Amino acid sequence: MTAETERLRRRPNLADEVATHLRSAILSGELKPGARVDQDAIAEELGVSRLPVREALISLDREGLVHTIPRKGSYVSRVDRADIADHYLIFGQVAGLAAARAVARLDDEGLEALLDLHQRMMSADSLVEQQRLNHEFHRTINRAAGSQRMMSMLQLLSRSLPMPYQDFPPEWLDEANRQHKDIVDAFRRRDTLAAQRAMEQHINASARHAIEVLERLDFFEDE
C-alpha cells in the first residue's frame, strides 16, 4: 500500500481527496486535454472504490476541468488562461462581498487580531508559516462576515482553485503582504467599499501568479 493510498483511507471525504489528486494530475499535464479518465485505473491506483472517483469527476465537471459524456465517460477539458482568470475573478467578488460585510461586524478585538496576523505574516521566516498565517488571515475575515452561504461558496471556490497557493512563487507572499496592508487599513477606517475593492484586487492578482506557474509547467496549449 502506497503512502498516498494510506492517507486516502484515513481521510473521511474520499471524493475530495480523489478530486485533489485528479486536479493535480490535470494541471501538471499528467492527464492531457482530451484524455479519457479511466475510473477503474484511478480507483485501483488510490485504493478506493469507484464511488468516490465518480463523485470526484462530478465535482471536476462542475469546475470545468473535465467534461462527462453520458454512457461514454469523462474526458479532460482544455483549460486556457481566460478560464483561470475567470475563476479568480469570481472568487475575488465573493471574497470582496465577505470583506465588506465583515467591516461592520468585526469588533475592535477582532481588528487587533487581524492586524496581529498581518504583522506575524510579514515577519515570519518560514514559507509554511507564512502560508498558514495567510490562510488564517482570510478565514478571520470570512468568518466575521457572518454568512454561512458565503463561507460555503468561498470554501468551494478555494478547494477548486486552478493552482493551490502553496505552489505559488515566494515573491507572491511579498505582494500579498502589501495587499493585506491595504485590506487592514480599510478595516481600520471602517470603509466598506475600500475593503471590498482591496480584497477583490488581492484575489484577482493571484490569477497572474497562477497563470505564470502553469505556463512554466507548459500547461497551456498555445494557439
Q: pLDDT tens for residues 22-68? A: 988 887 778 888 999 999 999 999 999 999 999 999 989 988 889 99
Helix axis angle, 171-188 relative to 127-144, nearest 10°? Answer: 30
What is the percent of the chain where pLDDT is above 90? 58
Amino acid at 206: S
d(CA 20, CA 28) in angstroms, rounded, equals: 12
Q: Nearest-CA neighbor of 217 among 161, 170, 162?
A: 162
The residues of the chain that CATH labels 1.10.10.10 are: 3-76
Position 1 scores a pLDDT of 47
Q: Nearest-CA neighbor of 203 among 84, 111, 62?
A: 84
| Residue range 3-76, CATH number | 1.10.10.10
Q: Is 29 helix (H, G, I), strand (E, B) or coil?
A: coil
State the average pLDDT for the chain.
88
The residues of the chain that CATH labels 1.20.120.530 are: 81-216
- Of the pLDDT bands very low, low, confident and very high (cuts 50, 70, 90), residue 222 is low
* Strand segments (E) across the chain: 66-69, 73-76
Q: Contact 118/137 with Cβ under 8 angstroms?
A: yes
Q: Which of 26-30, 58-62, 82-86, 109-113 has the highest mean pLDDT?
A: 109-113
Position 161 scores a pLDDT of 76
Report field, pTM of the whole predicted structure over 0.85: no
Q: Nearest-CA neighbor of 56 among 42, 41, 35?
A: 42
| Top-tier CATH class for 81-216 | mainly alpha
